[in-house]
Chains A and B, each alone.
Chain A
Amino acid sequence: MEQILANGVYLGSQYAMIALGLTLIFALMNVLNFAHGQMYVIGGFVTYTFYGQLGVPFVLALLMSCISLAILGALIEKFLFAPVIKGSKREESTMLLAAGIAFLLDALILLIFGEKQRGVPKIIDGVFNWDFRVIMPYDRILICVLAILSIICFICFMQYSKTGRALRALAQDRTAAQLMGVNVDRYSMIGFALGAMLAGLVGGLLVTITGINLGMGGPTSIKAFMMVMIGGAGVISGAIAGGIILGFMEAIGLAVLSQYGDITYLLIFVSLMIFLAIRPQGLMGKPWG
């Protein structure tokens, strides 16, 4: 039981971080960013290159991931999403753009970083073993703590900084924010960059544990969508809740349902569908997000 809880906390914290960036972008621009997973993968590869290949200290490599993804995000928003949103009749059209970007990033990752699974040396060795009731390697504990810390930092940033307030205003009501003197274009770009940066940060953190390969992008995006839906689209607390719930669902589901084998995930997905059918806006979402 303790082990299941520990697994749940660990999974939940990393999932929540992945979902955060996605939901931020969705809240600001109503864009479902299909390329979120690819951004996560790029973040992982950047950290791998700097920390694993060039021997730069881990924290610096992590910072490089954040910076490169933030720049990438800002460019994508400014030159692709912003003009398309302005020009399209139905805002869902951005999904095609997002998918195109996902394909593009996938192609670039393959060309630049290759097809192999990559990993970096462990940051700390050793396994925490509490009488075989909770077994958790130290590096996982560290990453889990770092993830929770980053989430707290992010919430504080959104709550108390000027940029954060502007972003929240933008998410609530674009027109009203504009009338109140928020530079909508600029903050949309900052928001997108921030969302991409979060994806890069998780990628960089998790490369130390799960490694990274080019195939992780698409599935990561899909998982992130699910978390966002569970919690409620476009709501930051919802993304965190969704991540933690999915983390626990997996941890508990895999432990309890293991004797049913192949259908564990089937049951997880079906229960997700039933949940959404009963509560169409997720836990705390705006009804028609």
Chain B
Amino acid sequence: MENITKRQLFNVGLFLFSIFIAVPLIISATGRWDFYFTLTSVALLAIASAGVWLTFYIGRINIGQGAFALIGAYVSAILVVKGGISFWISLPAAGIFAAIVAIFIGMLVLRLRGVYFAMITLVLTQVVTLTALALPITNGAKGISSIPLPSGVSLFGIPILPDFATMANTKLAFYYTACILMVLTYAALYRLVNSRLGHLCRSMQQNEELASSIGVNIAHIRIVIFAISSFFGGIGGAMFGSIAQSVYPSSFQVADSVNFMLNCFLGGLGYVFGPMLGTLVLYFGWDLLFELGKYQMLVYSIILIAVIRFLPNGLLSLQFGKGARK
């Protein structure tokens, strides 16, 4: 942490300014209120993608984040609807539950590598979807709908968080909540990557046997990382359930798992903020191309292919390439 430069501080400040002040200003100036939801989605999906990125960091291709997002969404929905608990408590509970599930599953599957790990996590996504369809507590195929909006929280009579249901503009509230969560997630991610654990992860990414031979407890680290990754997934999913006020087994499925992974690739696997940018471009890009009608998918995929064709190391490699040439 000691080697944060002024420039980096400035960049972080600029980023915070733009998401918390500039974006709302621009939106109210242009009147594009619909962008709030899109950007909220981007923030939430970026949280889940951050988890996927973290598993990439220990050299695992994770196509199972949709499973943990769905678990998170269901845990939160069940706690709020059936348990009558405040959403703000159910949110961390969803993350923790997803992390616990990840620990159990991780013990089984983290031994796998490469495409095998990718495959087993993909299957995991389907397993969770099918489980949600079969279990009585998740309400099976009917899903859980009409979830109340997050209620207010007050400590010693002082309101800390407002009641979303009484709010005139829940869009803005959700936007800020999602952005705060995203900032926290990425701050944590940055801190993690630059900690001792981060160094150990990098050594594992290079060569697990070697890392293990110099005394790194790789099995332990793998599980910790996978649990953190899934925690992010659970948080993102729970928040989404609350916005949609409904959760279905199909809320997060294989396509979502694949997209989380693509976000990381597109942003660049070598950069902490890669998944955030990747999510923004992939998700927002689709929305921007909305006017193209039936050619939307065609243009979208061509742009995607062009990007990866010319920037195979992700969008952020653009900036680094310039730096290297200097």
Considering the chains assembled together, what is the distance between the CA atoms of A168 and B86 in angstroms? Answer: 60
- With a 10 A CB-CB cut-off, give which of B113, B115, B120, B258 has the most chain A CB atoms: B115
Q: Which B-chain residue is minimally distant from A34 (CB atoms)?
A: B258
Q: Which of B240-268 contact A (CB under 8 A)?
A: 254-255, 258, 261-262, 265-266
Q: Fill in one digit per residue for B103-143: 1 if any A CB lies within 8 Å of its CB, else 0.
A: 00000110111111011101110110011011000000000
Across the A-B interface, how many residue pairs have beta carbons closer than 8 Å? 138
Q: Which A-chain residue is minimally distant from B141 (CB atoms)?
A: A262
Listed A/B pairs (5) with beta-carbon separation below 8 Å: A80-B305, A83-B309, A87-B313, A97-B312, A229-B120
- With a 10 A CB-CB cut-off, give which of B111, B116, B258 has the most chain A CB atoms: B116
Chain A interface: which size bin?
35 or more
Query: B114 near A108 (CB under 8 angstroms)?
Result: no
Q: Which of B296-326 contact A (CB under 8 A)?
A: 297-298, 300-302, 304-305, 308-309, 312-314
Q: Known: A100-B305, A226-B123. Is A288-B312 also a contact (CB below 8 A)?
A: no
Interface residues of A (CB under 8 A from B): 26, 32, 34, 80, 83-84, 87-90, 92-93, 95-97, 99-101, 103-104, 106-108, 110-111, 218, 222, 225-226, 228-229, 233, 262-263, 265-266, 269-270, 272-274, 276-277, 280-282, 285, 288-289
Q: Known: A100-B301, A225-B119, A269-B127. Is A93-B308 also a contact (CB below 8 A)?
A: yes
Query: A100 near B113 (CB under 8 angstroms)?
Result: no
Does B269 have its Cβ within 8 Å of any Cβ on chain A?
Answer: yes
* B134, B297, B312: the one within 8 Å of A103 (CB): B297
Query: B115 near A26 (CB under 8 angstroms)?
Result: yes
Query: A289 near B115 (CB under 8 angstroms)?
Result: yes
Query: A97 near B309 (CB under 8 angstroms)?
Result: yes
Q: Fill in one digit per residue for B268-302: 1 if any A CB lies within 8 Å of its CB, else 0.
A: 01100000000000000000000000110110111
Residues in A neighbouring B120, C-beta threshold 8 A: 229, 273, 276-277
Residues in B neighbouring A281, C-beta threshold 8 A: 116
Q: Known: A89-B313, A93-B269. Is A272-B301 also a contact (CB below 8 A)?
A: no
Does B189 have its Cβ within 8 Å of any Cβ on chain A?
Answer: no
A196 CB → nearest B CB, Å: 16
Query: B309 near A280 (CB under 8 angstroms)?
Result: no
Query: A104 near B302 (CB under 8 angstroms)?
Result: yes
Considering the chains assembled together, what is the distance between the CA atoms of A228 and B116 in angstroms? Answer: 9
A80 CB → nearest B CB, Å: 6
Query: A96 near B309 (CB under 8 angstroms)?
Result: no
A285 CB → nearest B CB, Å: 8
Residues in A neighbouring B305, C-beta threshold 8 A: 80, 97, 100-101, 104
Query: B298 near A222 (CB under 8 angstroms)?
Result: no
Q: Which A-chain residue is minimally distant from B299 (CB atoms)?
A: A107
Does B58 have its Cβ within 8 Å of any Cβ on chain A?
Answer: no
Considering the chains assembled together, what is the distance between the CA atoms of A46 and B13 in angstroms? Answer: 56
Query: B313 near A93 (CB under 8 angstroms)?
Result: yes
* A32, A99, A111, A263: the one within 8 Å of B130 (CB): A263
Does B61 have its Cβ within 8 Å of any Cβ on chain A?
Answer: yes
3 interchain residue pairs of minimum CB distance: A88-B312, A103-B301, A96-B265
Query: B109 near A95 (CB under 8 angstroms)?
Result: no
Considering the chains assembled together, what is the distance between the CA atoms of A212 and B126 in angstroms? Answer: 23
Residues in A neighbouring B269, C-beta threshold 8 A: 89-90, 92-93
A137 CB → nearest B CB, Å: 30
* A88, A104, A218: the one within 8 Å of B301 (CB): A104
- With a 10 A CB-CB cut-off, give which of B120, B123, B300, B308 has the most chain A CB atoms: B308
A249 CB → nearest B CB, Å: 13
Query: B312 near A269 (CB under 8 angstroms)?
Result: no
Q: Known: A88-B312, A100-B308, A270-B127. Is A95-B108 also a contact (CB below 8 A)?
A: no
Query: B114 near A288 (CB under 8 angstroms)?
Result: yes
A-B contacts besides A111-B298, A226-B123, A233-B116, 13 pairs, CB < 8 Å = A32-B118, A83-B309, A90-B269, A97-B309, A97-B312, A103-B301, A106-B301, A228-B119, A266-B127, A269-B127, A276-B116, A276-B119, A281-B116
Q: Which B-chain residue is minimally distant from A89 (CB atoms)?
A: B313
Residues in A neighbouring B108, C-beta threshold 8 A: 273-274, 277
Q: Known: A92-B61, A277-B112. Is A80-B127 also a contact (CB below 8 A)?
A: no
* A93, A96, A103, A272: the one within 8 Å of B123 (CB): A272
Query: A263 near B258 (CB under 8 angstroms)?
Result: no
Query: A107 near B254 (CB under 8 angstroms)?
Result: no
Query: A262 near B134 (CB under 8 angstroms)?
Result: yes
Residues in A neighbouring B113, C-beta threshold 8 A: 280, 288
Query: B122 near A225 (CB under 8 angstroms)?
Result: yes
Considering the chains assembled together, what is the distance between the CA atoms of A288 and B207 in angstroms? Answer: 12
Query: A226 near B265 (CB under 8 angstroms)?
Result: no
B266 CB → nearest A CB, Å: 6
Q: Known: A84-B309, A104-B301, A263-B134. Is A32-B116 also a contact (CB below 8 A)?
A: no
Considering the chains assembled together, what is the distance between the CA atoms of A272 and B314 in angstroms? Answer: 33
Residues in A neighbouring B312, C-beta threshold 8 A: 83-84, 87-89, 93, 97
